Chains A and B, each alone.
Chain A
């Protein structure tokens, strides 16, 4: 059995990487003494993993930095506005609110009723779109994929447009747009799934083609509805299509937050198999991954996450495409690192984007899709130019 050979043969591995070998063999001085310099025996904590696997910044450090970033952006997001509030005042109100008795002052109402739910919703949606984007890029094995590639956003647009222009679901009141867009997203997801389900089960190229083609179809339906609708309602459709957190409220938060949490639990459980799938379908299969089932689950999980995000905030482009790349630049492609970092960083990115959207042309509000595209497009260009080998431009 070669596995026994592997474990029993530390002396054979003395060619390079001397520190690692010495650390590993320190427990067997009779064999290790010869190849390694004697000083090696005095290494502190020879079995400490970080001491010899220093390829990348430790995840805990990255997460701590991203958490601090999120803390700062959220504090700014809640504090800045037509009535500026100091960070101390912000957290005073938040602490009071969390304790169960929100203040009835002006600051208290602004923070607890208006800005905090908005900032939290932006954070959740940013995290969800980033996570969905990172996973879709693995699912179709294409670095330029985003969560809306698979038709979710265009399906949701049809639903939302139908609500805004035709008054569908009018009985649902404020929930009508969310209901319409989530139904549209689910319908689009089902259509793409049904059409692209070939003999090999959601193969990347088929998935991309079906997503693109069906998206075009749904977009033409949206265009038709706009064409037939009245001009005033068309304005609100356009605003919805570009995305906004202007309508955020506390009762919009639970569903996206739960969807994100559930998806993250599933995805973190699959993080290793995601790495295997990133190698391609056949290598993944040879590594013991049930590729067909994994792809199906990933498709459903990412579509639902993107669909829920679109339902509460409209179609916010570029976040799901660009932020996963920035995250990989920071931590590499191992999904056990990418996913948690993406949640924190994506949340910060969106909170900052929303802050810009509502302050840059105050008192008016810019659609956040404009901001994300404005930041995202140049960032992506810089990334592509800096790392050509990631985008198929080697040699």
Chain B
């Protein structure tokens, strides 16, 4: 249960979008992929789930070249929750989740009792049991995302790829979704926008800028004001999360002179709030 990118580059329409990506996600590790808009996060993920073909390098799944697998076999080992929420078509939540069984079924196979059990359990696992008979199109954004995670679960893959799963969601659903994902016990690679949230859940964070990995490591080592300035061109304060001690980023306004007051290295001296219990 490991995923490794070995010197992967991807060209789209003759332009190199990401170059020489080395990235490894260990067994049951929750890895975050962060970086500014347009830095190539989605491109890397799409190279993993076979929408883009790497121009150079390889994507290795437990040591096997992903491109040597048949699409069906790959889909049994890697499940994806991509940015997708609208469907022109009317599916119930159960039907939607059942679509996750596709790579396990052959032509004319019927849904078996085992398939239904997998679907029901996936829906329960993301806490959507009461939504099972609803129409997918009538759900809220957060509910839809949970259902899509349930769909990925029914693929029974042990690698999960998420492309900004918390986009456009309220803070309750952001935390809920990442909590669900973290509790799955599978190898996860997720592109995330919210750095503080990423720090809260990820074991490892890979920082991407202009199509290249700038740095990678545990959140506390990676999410420093210097790295953020280098990758994003933004000034932030970094404090410790009162509960977990993980880095928490506070944006700063770009007013002239304000940068002078910031300690140039490490964490700021702002005292952490006492943890409420």
Contact = CB atoms under 8 A, between A and B. Distances in A.
A270 B107 contact: yes
Nearest to A266: B107
B88 A278 contact: yes
Interface string B73-107: 11110111010101111111011000111110101
A334 B137 contact: no
The CB with the most chain B CB atoms within 10 A, among A2, A56, A269, is that of A2
B108 A268 contact: yes
Given A15-B129, A280-B84, A286 B116 contact: no
A142 B49 CA distance: 25
B122 A55 contact: no
A6 B109 CA distance: 22
Contacts of A6: 118, 121-122, 125, 153, 156
A3 B156 contact: yes
A249 interface: no
B113 A282 contact: no
B88 A285 contact: no
Given A269-B108, A389-B138, A287 B100 contact: yes
Contacts, number: 155
B71 interface: yes
B71 A288 contact: yes
A264 to B, nearest CB: 12
Interface in A1-28: 1-3, 5-7, 9-10, 12-13, 15-17, 20-21, 24
A17 B74 contact: no
Nearest to B86: A392
B88 A332 contact: no
B80 to A, nearest CB: 4
A390 interface: yes
Contacts of A49: 111, 113, 116
B51 A285 contact: yes
30 contacts: A2-B153, A2-B156, A2-B158, A6-B153, A7-B117, A13-B125, A13-B129, A15-B127, A15-B129, A16-B124, A17-B120, A17-B132, A21-B120, A21-B124, A53-B116, A55-B95, A142-B88, A268-B108, A275-B95, A275-B99, A279-B87, A282-B84, A283-B82, A286-B80, A287-B155, A288-B71, A289-B102, A328-B90, A389-B137, A394-B137
